[in-house]
Amino acid sequence: MHVCDTPPDSGYVDILTSIFKTGKQDIMLKVIQVKRGDFRQDFVRLLTFIITIGILFPMSWYIYLNARSLELTEKLLYDAIGDTKVVLRNIKTFTTLPNLHMNMQNNVDLNPTLHTGTKKPVEQKQEDMQQKYTGWFSESFHFIINNEDICKASNESIDILIMITSAPQNKLSRNAIRETWLTHTKMNKGNIRYVFLLGESPMTKELEKENLHTKDIILGNFKDAYNNLTYKTLMGYQWATQHCRNAQFVMKTDDDMYVHIPGLIRVTKKNAKALQTAIGGSCALLANPIRDKRSKWYASFKSYPQTTYPGFCSGTGYVTSLNVVTKIVKTSKDVPFFHLEDVYVALCIKKLGLRLHPIGGFVLAYNFGNCTHNDNTLVTVHQVSVSMLKRIWETPCTPNKV
Ligand SMILES: *[C@@H]1O[C@H](CO)[C@@H](O)[C@H](O)[C@H]1NC(C)=O
Ligand SMILES: *[C@@H]1O[C@H](CO)[C@@H](O)[C@H](O)[C@H]1NC(C)=O
Ligand SMILES: *[C@@H]1O[C@H](CO)[C@@H](O)[C@H](O)[C@H]1NC(C)=O
């Protein structure tokens, strides 16, 4: 019994106790440390969560939105680079200075109507104009110069009607086009027909004179202005539905374009079915309005409050069926005016539940000294001056006479 009173190993027990105690303390300490660690981890997690939700999410959303508008900016930049390349190529191609000067002059001066240029300053008027036309687009056009018989000139069925938006002062461009790629239309009597689309200006009398010989001008009762390109296009579409119902397809392009008609015929045949419910060309399926006032494609919040466009097919050249054109003309009465004509057409397409249909061959710059276009993959080339147009036409390796 006394054995227990005097524990023989009291020292051992002490050690055990102390070990136990320190062990317990260690464990407690560890528990506390673990708890602190947990807390720290939780805190870090919470912080990460707050940062993610509070900062990263809006930031990535912002970046996402801007990236989408950047896409368009990138496209514009790409166009600008393309244009620079064209000029550089001209410098290489044209060895004599007067030619070069002429060419650059043409690039700058002869094509003020286009959606495709890069250097045109935004007119102050644009904002006013946009504010003025926020109502529904309900124009029904009256033709001051008309050529009702263009599509009736023979019994041939018409494959494609080409509508070329032009500015009154661009007679040289019109003549250059008539003498080059429009020769495919056999003086507007073959299965490809064409018209030039213009508006009213002090030059209307001169245009009447020009039309006496060429019989290819349609001039509508609205003021000819860059920001009225939507009027010009819709006027052309209206004309097509009234006077060219026997056309299968309708192509819209500008007067600084080279259109390779054999290529155009090829793509319309190949995409015939799709074009019954779509508009085709160089189409961006995602695009945002540009809110930078310096941009040529500036769209004020007032003129276009939404954050995205329904995409669009570049106004440099797009093609669709007469079927779709007829629907666009009808639905345009319910689509508010918007000054960027290709976006406006896309808005109509969206309202109709139709589609944008990207087609290859609508390119930026023509490659001189290369005959890769012989295979008819080319459809359009944009930003082509009068002298460049003639040069493309006369370069022996081009497939223009195919
Ligand atoms: C078109 O068809 C009508 C009747 O079929 C005919 O009288 C006329 O001569 C034809 N015109 C041309 C240009 O072929
Ligand atoms: C567009 O045309 C309409 C109708 O002729 C005219 O009132 C308006 O001022 C024109 N827009 C511009 C920017 O000139
Ligand atoms: C012509 O096109 C081919 C193939 O696309 C390319 O490799 C070549 O560099 C081009 N030549 C010129 C002169 O641009």
Whose alpha carbon is nearest atom 4 of ligand 3? 372
Task: List the one residue out of 166, 322, 191 whose CA is nearest residue 244.
Answer: 322
Q: Which of 129, 219, 224 is the best mutation target for the ligand 2 pocket, counting ligand atoms within 8 Å of the beta carbon and taking the most? A: 129
Bridge partners for 219 per DSSP:
145, 198
Q: Which of 85, 370, 397, 398 is the best mutation target for the ligand 3 pocket, counting ligand atoms within 8 Å of the beta carbon and taking the most? A: 370
Task: List the one residue out of 339, 358, 360, 351 whose CA is nearest residue 310.
Answer: 351
d(CA 19, CA 52): 47
Q: Which of 200, 223, 232 is the best mutation target for the ligand 2 pocket, counting ligand atoms within 8 Å of the beta carbon and taking the most? A: 223
Asked if the model's pLDDT at residue 57 lies above 50, the reply is yes
Two tokens, residue 68: 């989408």
Return the beta strands (E) in 56-147 as ranges.
Answer: 143-145
Mean pLDDT of 235-246: 95
Bridge-based pairing state of the strands 355-358 and 278-284: parallel
Residue 312 or 129, more confident? 312
Residues 122/296, Cβ–Cβ less than 8 Å? yes
32 band by pLDDT with thresholds 50, 70 and 90: low
The number of beta carbons lying within 10 Å of the beta carbon of residue 99 is: 14
Return the beta strands (E) in 124-268 as ranges.
Answer: 143-145, 158-165, 192-200, 217-223, 247-254, 258-259
Ligand closest to CA 144:
2
Task: Quote the ligand 2 centre to 27 CA distance (angstroms).
Answer: 85
In the block, tokens 């009234």 appear at 242
Whose alpha carbon is nearest atom 12 of ligand 2? 225
Q: Is any ligand 2 atom within 6 A of the Cβ of residue 223?
A: yes
pLDDT for 247: 96
Whose alpha carbon is nearest atom 10 of ligand 1? 155
Bridge partners for 319 per DSSP:
251, 280
Task: Quote the ligand 1 centre to 157 CA distance (angstroms).
Answer: 12
Task: Quote the ligand 1 centre to 155 CA distance (angstroms).
Answer: 6
Task: List the one residue out of 250, 340, 248, 351 whose CA is nearest residue 298.
Answer: 340
Which segment of 36-45, 54-63, 96-105 scores lowest on mean pLDDT?
96-105
Task: Quote the ligand 2 centre to 126 CA distance (angstroms).
Answer: 10
Q: Which of 155, 186, 187, 191 is the best mutation target for the ligand 1 pocket, counting ligand atoms within 8 Å of the beta carbon and taking the most? A: 155
Task: Quote the ligand 1 centre to 393 CA distance (angstroms).
Answer: 34
Mean pLDDT of 3-18: 48
* pLDDT single digits (tens) 114-169: 333 333 334 434 444 443 444 445 558 899 999 999 998 766 789 999 999 999 99
Bridge-based pairing state of the strands 143-145 and 158-165: unpaired
Task: Quote the ligand 3 centre to 372 CA distance (angstroms).
Answer: 8
Whose alpha carbon is nearest atom 12 of ligand 3? 370
Task: Quote the ligand 1 centre to 383 CA distance (angstroms).
Answer: 40
* pLDDT single digits (tens) 81-119: 544 444 444 333 332 222 222 222 223 222 323 333 333
pLDDT for 169: 97
Quick one: DSSP state of residue 19? H
Task: Quote the ligand 2 centre to 198 CA distance (angstroms).
Answer: 13
Q: Is any ligand 3 atom within 6 A of the Cβ of residue 372?
A: yes
Residues 137/128, Cβ–Cβ less than 8 Å? no
Q: Report the share of the chain in percent with pLDDT over 70.
A: 67
User: H or E element: which one contains 356?
Assistant: strand 355-358
Residue 344 or 43, more confident? 344
The number of beta carbons lying within 10 Å of the beta carbon of residue 10 is: 10
